[in-house]
Amino acid sequence: MTTRQLLSLAFRESRFARRRLFLFLSAISLGVAALVAVQGFASTMKREMSAQARAMLGADVQLQSRDPFGPRTTEVLESLARGGIDVARVTSFASMARHAENGATRLVQVRAAEPGFPFYGTIETSPAGQWASLQDDRNAVVEPALVVALGAEIGDVIEIGKARFRIIGELHRMPGDIEIASSFAPRVFIPARYVDETELLGYGARVTYEAFLRVPDPELAETIDEGYRPIWRAERVRSRTLQEQQEQIDEALGMLGRYLGLVGVFALLLGGIGVASAMSAYMSRKVDSIAVLRCLGATSREVLALYLLQAGAMGLLGALVGVLAGAVVQWVLPQMLTGLLPVDVPIRVDGPAALTGLVAGMATALAFALLPLLEIRTVSPLRALRRRVEPLIARGHDKLRLGMAIALVVGVVALIVYQAHDVFAGLGVSLGIGITLLALWLAARACTKLLRRAPHAGFPFMFRQSIANLYRPGNQTMTVVVALGFGAFLLATLVLTQANLLRPLTANSETRFNLVLLDVQVDQIEPVRDVLAMHDIEILDSVPLVSMRIAAVKGEPVRRFLEDELVLDGDGSLPEPTQDLEPDEGRPRRWALRREYRSTFRETLTESERLVAGRWWNERNATDGEAPFAVSLEQDIARDLGVTLGDRIDWDIQGVTVPTVVTSIRAVDWARLEPNFFAVFEPDALRDAPQMWVLLARAETAEARTAAQRDVVAQHPNVSVIDLTLVQAALDEVIGRVSLVIRFLAAFSVATGFVVLLGSVATGRLERIRESVLLKTLGATRRQIGAILLGEYALLGLLAVLVGAGLSLAASWALARFLFDVPFEAALGPMLAIAAVIVALSAAIGLSASREVFRTTPMEALREE
């Protein structure tokens, strides 16, 4: 047979059956679409962010500190500036902004910038070009959210602390911006030279000091950074170069890419299962044709080639459709994530992703089609003579198929390892998938067995018939239950895990308090209480905050630890805090020593705390107001500091040393919005230390919250008020968007499950028609036949959901327990919703795909025989 003849026969032979091949095509399309979409999205993001790294950083070198730059750092900056390097400083802090006329207030992030900032990237404002005028006067460029919140207009004056600024423009786009962040605290840019007029930078203010350097020559930038790093480190200044920024982006997005890549491989794998199912459905219709071709002298190789060509063509077409669909999805994804992405993701088909999708799609289509295709090698030509009697496919060991199956598994594992960029992670994921599939299969088997054994004598005929249909010869019950169950499993696991992770965040909408007042000075507590009382708002809780650093651990001065590191590192550079992973031999982690602690003092434990070791002081009252004082540490920080019960820590509070002994270790539920602390002191230790207070209050109405905010800030401009309902709304928004994307991706897996279901419907089509026709001749009504089919497919869906959702409970429990370390709770509502939708859809698909059964009259069936 010539190739051309083979091609044309393959084409002709597929006539009328292309509708069936469409199933095959859609399975591949779904997989490829998911693969292309997530990979394209990840790599476009990565490319965009790399391209904009300089604009996002706004400089070539950035310095950052929680304290004003020390004398040596300042000296370095000045000498650099003299040497012709542009330097711009930005001072940032949270504060209330108050509309000078209507008195409306809103918590904002003030960014006091020196001229020149940012050195790279353009800031878009409306009216356009206002950024250039920022430095001209007491001007402010603000985010639109603030304008809305204050009911302000361009040209209005706002007060920040004791200073007043005129809004000259709204900030529309800034490189590297995550838009939604502005709903937490909108930013207000003011000229740096007026920042002191606010009088907000006094004690206790949480201020970030930054300096931006323009050093266009990257080598010079690295040299500067490396040369001065020891000085910066010694003065607690962190530095970052463009190159480091880029590396960080690459690493973060590389992770994202690998993770999303795995999601894509998953989808493609499911698509492959769909292909195998669709192909065996297709082949079951083609067995007679194959037998005839064999009678006429076609070799098994020719027959195989014939159908492989058809599968290949459909695979190619499916992959092409998938690439296009993937491009559409890739366009939809950023829409869903509006405001959460730091860059605009342009709409375009990502070349490499598209090519990967095309090749992987084709390969998957052929590989998975080959499994059922290899079966036709054993189709006996005798079937042409005796259609009913000959068994469909000769059973028994087929070395080739076994080899093929093994090759397939190896291929899939290789693909996963390749995507994970890590042999162990890849093997782990593969093992996980394998175990899941095995568990699904076992559970499905157990369920079907149970169903078969269960007494159904008492049930109506139609229901018994439905169950019996699940056992008809050549049934696809197991395939469907496993495939659809896998989809249900993925979706349910995602939803359950998401609910477990987000529960602490959403639960807060019912917290006791919804107003947080920050930076309240001791003598302001009573006046603030009075203002709140005027609005019928009661203070529920007041918490003192004392800023401190660690002076010595177990008698060893902190400076010594840090200097040791300098010597150890040799090149004089300190590793980033992220790099020191484990405290070795009880040595404290550097960041834990270097950081600033905001601690509190009180008599009792709070609801979100639990003692894990030692005793609380009200039970013991050991120190009697004398040093060393008792301190209680959170368990993780105790580990990072390398201390246990009885160890000594000396704290430095504004130059005063406060010696303490660790008398208890606490576990803290950080997910609660209540203020929580690494270190809690007995009251005697800190009562007289410089302190700021946090007040927690609850106001029932939005009006009361707004009014109280306005009045408090009018009298005490240094006090910041956080309206937690706004924070919660912003959080909900973020959560909603992310959940949507996760569900959207998971929906692909369910869709593929349905392709498998459709495939099984197609496979059983002929038997079903014959049987229904027989029932009709015996007097069954359309309604009764419909009820049987409905029952059968609803049962299939139910089995799949039972198996998939059941396993997902176990999986999400394990995830919550071992990976995320959050309490597990089964979100029954969403689970039931998923179950209902899957069962309903599978019943609907079963019915609609079987409508041929209704259409066929007994006459037609008789003629066919």
* Residue 405 Cβ vs other proteins, minimum distance, rounded to whole Å: 22
What are the distances in angstroms from CA 677 to CA 543, 594, 646, 667, 674? 11, 17, 19, 10, 10
> Residue 292 or 446: which CB sits closer to other proteins?
292
Tell me which of 70, 381, 527, 858 binds other proteins, using CB under 8 A. 381
The reply to whether 19 sits near other proteins by the rule CB under 8 A is no
298 interface partner picked from ligand ADP, other proteins, none, CB below 5 to 8 A per type: other proteins
Residues 60 and 53: their CA atoms lie apart, in Å, by 10
Whose tokens are 């099984």? That residue is: 760
Stretch that binds other proteins, among 32-40, 286-294, 327-335, 487-495 (CB under 8 A): 286-294
Stretch that binds other proteins, among 311-319, 385-393, 430-438, 603-611 (CB under 8 A): 385-393
456 SS3 class: coil
Residues 312 and 366: their CA atoms lie apart, in Å, by 6
Query: Total number of residues binding ligand ADP (CB under 6 A)?
Result: 3
The reply to whether 387 sits near other proteins by the rule CB under 8 A is yes
- Beta strand residue intervals within 475-604, DSSP E: 515-521, 538-553, 556-557, 597-601
Residues 230 and 233: their CA atoms lie apart, in Å, by 5
Stretch that binds other proteins, among 12-20, 122-130, 515-523, 847-855 (CB under 8 A): 12-20
Stretch that binds ligand ADP, among 167-175, 385-393, 728-736, 788-796 (CB under 6 A): 385-393
The reply to whether 778 sits near ligand ADP by the rule CB under 6 A is no
SS3 content of the chain, % helix, strand, coil (to 5): 60, 15, 25
Which among 496, 500, 499, 507 has a CA at the least distance from the CA of 822?
Answer: 500
* Residue 292 Cβ vs other proteins, minimum distance, rounded to whole Å: 5
> Residue 288 or 538: which CB sits closer to ligand ADP?
288
Q: What are phi and psi of 64, to 5 degrees?
A: -145, 140
Please, which residues have CB within 8 angstroms of residue 609's CB and are 6 or more apart in sequence? Answer: 666, 667, 668, 669, 676
> Residue 347 or 394: which CB sits closer to ligand ADP?
394
739 interface partner picked from other proteins, ligand ADP, none, CB below 5 to 8 A per type: none
Tell me which of 363, 366, 382, 738 binds other proteins, using CB under 8 A. 382
Stretch that binds ligand ADP, among 120-128, 382-390, 515-523, 661-669 (CB under 6 A): 382-390
> Residue 173 or 386: which CB sits closer to other proteins?
386
Within 389-418, which residues bind ligand ADP (CB under 6 A)? Answer: 389-390
Stretch that binds other proteins, among 56-64, 381-389, 735-743, 840-848 (CB under 8 A): 381-389
Pairing of strands 629-634, 656-668: parallel
> Residue 278 or 803: which CB sits closer to other proteins?
278
16 interface partner picked from other proteins, ligand ADP, none, CB below 5 to 8 A per type: other proteins
> Residue 235 or 375: which CB sits closer to other proteins?
375
The reply to whether 610 sits near ligand ADP by the rule CB under 6 A is no
* Residue 27 Cβ vs other proteins, minimum distance, rounded to whole Å: 22
> Residue 247 or 864: which CB sits closer to other proteins?
864
Tokens of 71: 């004398």
> Residue 231 or 382: which CB sits closer to ligand ADP?
382
Answer whether the bond into residue 717 is a cis peptide, omega within 30°.
no
Tell me which of 83, 297, 473, 655 binds other proteins, using CB under 8 A. 297
* Residue 389 Cβ vs ligand ADP, minimum distance, rounded to whole Å: 5
The reply to whether 16 sits near other proteins by the rule CB under 8 A is yes
Answer whether the bond into residue 186 is a cis peptide, omega within 30°.
no
The reply to whether 299 sits near other proteins by the rule CB under 8 A is yes
Please, which residues have CB within 8 angstroms of residue 245's CB and are 6 or more apart in sequence? Answer: 53, 56, 57, 62
The answer to whether 318 and 365 are in contact (CB under 8 A) is yes
The reply to whether 387 sits near ligand ADP by the rule CB under 6 A is no
> Residue 390 or 733: which CB sits closer to ligand ADP?
390
* Residue 2 Cβ vs other proteins, minimum distance, rounded to whole Å: 5
Query: Total number of residues binding other proteins (CB under 8 A)?
Result: 31
CA 472 to chain centre: 43
The answer to whether 374 and 404 are in contact (CB under 8 A) is yes
The reply to whether 300 sits near other proteins by the rule CB under 8 A is yes
The answer to whether 40 and 354 are in contact (CB under 8 A) is yes
> Residue 71 or 473: which CB sits closer to ligand ADP?
473
Please, which residues have CB within 8 angstroms of residue 204's CB and are 6 or more apart in sequence? Answer: 519, 545, 547, 690, 691, 692
* Residue 865 Cβ vs other proteins, minimum distance, rounded to whole Å: 9
Q: DSSP states of 326-362 as a string?
A: HHHHHHHHHHHTTTT-SS-------HHHHHHHHHHHH
Residues 513 and 540: their CA atoms lie apart, in Å, by 7
Which among 207, 203, 112 has a CA at the least distance from the CA of 163?
Answer: 112
The reply to whether 855 sits near other proteins by the rule CB under 8 A is no
652 Rama class: left (phi>0) / alpha (psi -120 to 50) / beta:
beta
Stretch that binds other proteins, among 68-76, 238-246, 292-300, 648-656 (CB under 8 A): 292-300
Which among 626, 690, 679 has a CA at the least distance from the CA of 655?
Answer: 690
The answer to whether 26 and 18 are in contact (CB under 8 A) is no
591 SS3 class: helix
Tell me which of 348, 386, 620, 817 binds ligand ADP, using CB under 6 A. 386
Rg of the Cα trace of the chain?
Answer: 34
Residues 105 and 186: their CA atoms lie apart, in Å, by 12
> Residue 285 or 743: which CB sits closer to other proteins?
285
Stretch that binds other proteins, among 33-41, 52-60, 299-307, 562-570 (CB under 8 A): 299-307
288 interface partner picked from ligand ADP, other proteins, none, CB below 5 to 8 A per type: other proteins
Tell me which of 162, 173, 193, 301 binds other proteins, using CB under 8 A. 301
* Residue 385 Cβ vs ligand ADP, minimum distance, rounded to whole Å: 8
> Residue 292 or 534: which CB sits closer to other proteins?
292
> Residue 73 or 289: which CB sits closer to other proteins?
289
For the beta carbon of residue 812, count every other beta carbon within 10 angstroms.
25
> Residue 389 or 567: which CB sits closer to ligand ADP?
389
72 SS3 class: helix
The reply to whether 534 sits near other proteins by the rule CB under 8 A is no
- Beta strand residue intervals within 29-134, DSSP E: 61-65, 86-99, 105-113, 124-126
* Residue 445 Cβ vs other proteins, minimum distance, rounded to whole Å: 24
Tokens of 790: 């409905």
687 interface partner picked from other proteins, ligand ADP, none, CB below 5 to 8 A per type: none
Q: What distance, in Å, lies between the first and last C-alpha atoms of the chain?
A: 33
> Residue 385 or 446: which CB sits closer to other proteins?
385
The reply to whether 384 sits near other proteins by the rule CB under 8 A is yes
> Residue 385 or 774: which CB sits closer to ligand ADP?
385
Q: Which residues bind other proteins (CB under 8 A)?
A: 1-2, 5, 9, 12-17, 288-289, 291-302, 380-382, 384-387
Q: Which residues bind ligand ADP (CB under 6 A)?
A: 386, 389-390
